[in-house]
Amino acid sequence: MKLISWNVNGLRACLKKGFLDAFFALDAEVFCLQETKLQPGQVELDLPGYHQYWYSAEKKGYSGTAVFSRREPLAVSYGLGIDEHDHEGRLITLEFEPFYFVCCYTPNAQDGLRRIDYRMRWEDDLRAYLRSLDAKKPVVYCGDLNVAHEPIDLKNPGPNRGNAGFSDQERGKMTELLAAGFVDSFRRLYPDRTGAYSWWSYRFRARENNAGWRIDYFIVSERLASRITAAEIYSDITGSDHCPVGLELDL
Active site residues: 105, 144
Report yes or no: 57 and 29 within 8 Å, Cβ to Cβ: no
Helix (H) or strand (E) holding 3: strand 2-7
Find, among 187, 202, 199, the residue nearest to 243 by Cα: 199
Extract the runs of DSSP E, i.e. beta strands, from 37-74: 51-55, 65-69
Find, among 214, 173, 223, the residue nearest to 190 by Cα: 214
For the chain, the straight-line distance linking the first and the last C-alpha, in angstroms and rounded, comes to 7
* Residue 56 to residue 65: CA distance in whole angstroms: 7
* Residue 109 to residue 164: CA distance in whole angstroms: 5
Burial of 111 (0-12, 13-18, 19+ CB in 10 A): exposed
Report yes or no: 64 and 57 within 8 Å, Cβ to Cβ: yes
